[in-house]
């Protein structure tokens, strides 16, 4: 197949009518048609947020990567614009892999990885380089004639000659820098730092960080940004061993708070933390908005699992809600919080308070596209929480707090078709209370615990009749202190 921008646009335009509405999200960005994965080029430019993404428009499966493109004024209502990149050059013939965006000399520049397959084994026979595409209008992009701008000859000794990808470019002190994910070929992921004056000529600065053997064998999708006087590195370690209840997915995401030395390229940090404690969150990327907020968005799926919409629905993949990253001064950890912009899309409110729970109680609220603000107070109950997307016949998504163990669990074993399982995370109560802010969409649940101290994200695929909401307490009593629900106006 000849991969061009024109062919991609025509293919999608002729087939969008095939999409089925079931499971299509109401207020999350998803694939217009075909496949979506990692967010790319997330930036605010000329009055719009731009979000590019890994995109295979021809089938709802991973394929030779294009860059899809959507724009928004408020990070809630998105508009699809033409495909930005197609794998149409010798240096990106195997795919235009992940990258980032920056404004240089008034023009929007994309820096991305060109993937080239060199032999019959596509999992092993390849190499990767970094390339630039430029736009005057933020929609149509031209690749530089001098690509690649960062080639194999600039990979330092001791670093993988194949896995060299996902540049995140930023400006500091009058220079441009880019962080690139890689590994040492011996089971340790690492991040490289390069410097440039013009985005074209790059110099290797140093190795920023390296896995200690417990942080995965390859590091992908790095992002480095400043927050309240500190530097924050986020990245996605592949095949990271689980650590208790953390990092239970095949590939994970983590962040480190520390300090970058731009002269040596080294990044000093004391520890690392998960970004999301649920099932479906990967390859997050950040952007700085006009209000000075650091906004994070991730891919709301998990690698190497079947996705129900791949069969007969003609699409797969979605983005999480954008979240603001806030550095908590008391312990140097990040909080992730929903954006204020979402409140403008609330409709049809419902409230109740002071409900004593003993057993399960179906609430007089229902839906499949809504937001909840909930406070629960522990009492004598061993466990208490909510059941979402229930149907009275056993289908349910369970969000529960184990008071004895201090663990919150997200269980989707009976959430419908698709992957089941449970994710758990330790959460402390505040004066005996658990505060939840929950966003439910057609096929997703995002739970913000205790003001964003932790977040759990998961895709679910319940039946269309599963719209009920129940509260429960088992092994004793608990109190539903307050329950607020709003429908969220559908945008896509």
The three-class DSSP label of residue 451 is: helix
CA distances 303 to 17, 34, 120, 182, Å, are 27, 16, 22, 18
**H/E stretch holding 9:** helix 5-15
Six-digit token string for 480? 């539903």
Q: What DSSP character marks residue 240?
A: P
Q: How far apart are CA 299 and CA 306, in angstroms?
A: 15
Domain positions in the chain are 5-338, 341-488
* From 38, 166, 368, 402, active-site residue: 38
Q: Is 331 a catalytic residue?
A: no
The three-class DSSP label of residue 54 is: strand
Is the pTM for the entire model greater than 0.95? yes
pLDDT value of position 1:
81
pLDDT value of position 116:
98
Considering the domain delimited by 5-338, tell me its CATH architecture: 5 Propeller (2.115)
Six-digit token string for 126? 């390849």
DSSP string, 306-343: --GGGTTS-EE-BBPPPEEEEEETTTTEEEEEE-GGGG
pLDDT value of position 491:
83
Q: What is the pLDDT of residues 120-167, one digit of tens each?
A: 999 999 999 999 999 999 999 999 999 999 999 999 999 999 999 999
CA distances 410 to 242, 245, 382, 450, Å, are 17, 12, 16, 15
* Residue linked to tokens 């909840």: 372
pLDDT value of position 174:
95
pLDDT value of position 380:
98
Question: Which residue positions in the chain have pLDDT lower than 50?
Answer: none
Asked if 363 contacts 357 with a C-beta cutoff of 8 angstroms, the reply is no
Structure-derived torsion over alpha carbons of residues 388, 281, 318, 109, reported in degrees to the nearest 10? 150
Which residues, in sequence order, are CB contacts of 129 under 8 Å at separation 6+?
91, 113, 114, 116, 147, 148, 150, 151, 152, 164
Asked if 38 contacts 62 with a C-beta cutoff of 8 angstroms, the reply is no
Q: What is the pLDDT of residues 202-232, one digit of tens each?
A: 999 999 999 988 999 999 999 999 999 999 9
Q: How far apart are CA 492 and CA 486, in angstroms?
A: 18
Q: What is the pLDDT of residues 328-379, one digit of tens each?
A: 999 999 999 999 999 999 999 999 999 999 999 999 999 999 999 999 999 9
Considering the domain delimited by 341-488, tell me its CATH architecture: Sandwich (2.60)
DSSP string, 113-169: EEEEE-SS-TTTSEEEEEEEEEESSSSS-EE-TT--SB-GGGSPTTS-SS-EEEEEE
CA distances 47 to 43, 143, 404, Å, are 10, 24, 50
Six-digit token string for 165? 């990808």
């Amino acid at each position: 197949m000849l991969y061009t921008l024109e062919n991609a646009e025509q293919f999608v335009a002729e087939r969008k009518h095939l999409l089925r509405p079931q499971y299509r999200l109401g207020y999350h960005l998803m694939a217009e048609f075909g496949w979506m994965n990692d967010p790319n080029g997330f930036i605010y430019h000329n009055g719009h947020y731009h979000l590019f993404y890994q995109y295979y428009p021809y089938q709802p499966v991973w394929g030779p990567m294009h860059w899809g493109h959507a724009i928004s004024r408020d990070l809630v209502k998105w508009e699809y614009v033409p495909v930005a990149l197609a794998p149409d050059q010798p240096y990106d013939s195997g795919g235009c892999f992940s990258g980032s965006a920056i404004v240089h000399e008034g023009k929007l520049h994309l820096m991305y990885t060109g993937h080239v397959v060199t032999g019959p084994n596509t999992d092993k026979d390849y190499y990767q380089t970094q390339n630039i595409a430029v736009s005057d209008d933020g929609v149509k992009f031209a690749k530089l004639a001098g690509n690649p701008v960062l080639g194999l000859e600039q990979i330092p000794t001791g670093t993988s000659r194949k896995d060299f990808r996902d540049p995140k470019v930023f400006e500091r002190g009058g220079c441009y820098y880019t962080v690139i994910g890689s590994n040492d070929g011996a089971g340790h992921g690492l991040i490289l730092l390069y410097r440039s004056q013009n985005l074209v000529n790059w110099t290797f600065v140093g190795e920023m960080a390296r896995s200690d053997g417990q942080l995965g064998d390859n590091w992908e999708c790095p992002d480095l940004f400043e927050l309240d006087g500190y530097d924050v590195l986020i990245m996605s370690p592949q095949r990271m061993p689980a650590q208790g209840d953390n990092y239970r997915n095949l590939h994970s995401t983590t962040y480190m708070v520390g300090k970058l030395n731009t002269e040596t390229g080294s990044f000093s940090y004391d520890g690392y933390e998960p970004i999301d404690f649920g099932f479906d969150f990967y390859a997050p990327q950040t952007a700085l908005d006009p209000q000075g907020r650091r906004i994070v968005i991730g891919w709301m799926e998990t690698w190497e699992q079947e996705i129900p919409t791949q069969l007969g629905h003609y699409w797969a993949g979605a983005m999480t809600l954008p979240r603001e990253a806030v550095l908590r001064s008391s312990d140097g950890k990040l909080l992730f919080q929903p954006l204020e912009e979402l409140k403008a899309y609330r409709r049809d409110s419902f409230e109740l308070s002071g409900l004593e729970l003993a057993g399960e109680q179906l609430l007089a609220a229902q839906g499949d596209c809504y937001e909840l603000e909930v406070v629960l107070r522990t009492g004598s109950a061993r466990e208490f929480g909510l059941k979402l997307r229930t149907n009275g016949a056993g289908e349910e998504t369970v969000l529960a707090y184990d008071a004895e163990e201090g663990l919150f669990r997200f269980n989707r074993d009976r959430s419908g078709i698709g992957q089941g399982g449970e994710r758990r995370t330790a959460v402390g109560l505040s004066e005996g209370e658990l505060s939840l802010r929950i966003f439910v969409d057609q096929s997703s649940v995002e739970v913000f615990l205790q003001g964003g101290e932790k977040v759990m994200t998961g895709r679910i695929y319940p039946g269309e009749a599963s719209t009920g909401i129940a509260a429960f307490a088992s092994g004793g009593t608990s109190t539903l202190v307050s329950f607020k629900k709003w429908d969220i106006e559908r945008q896509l």
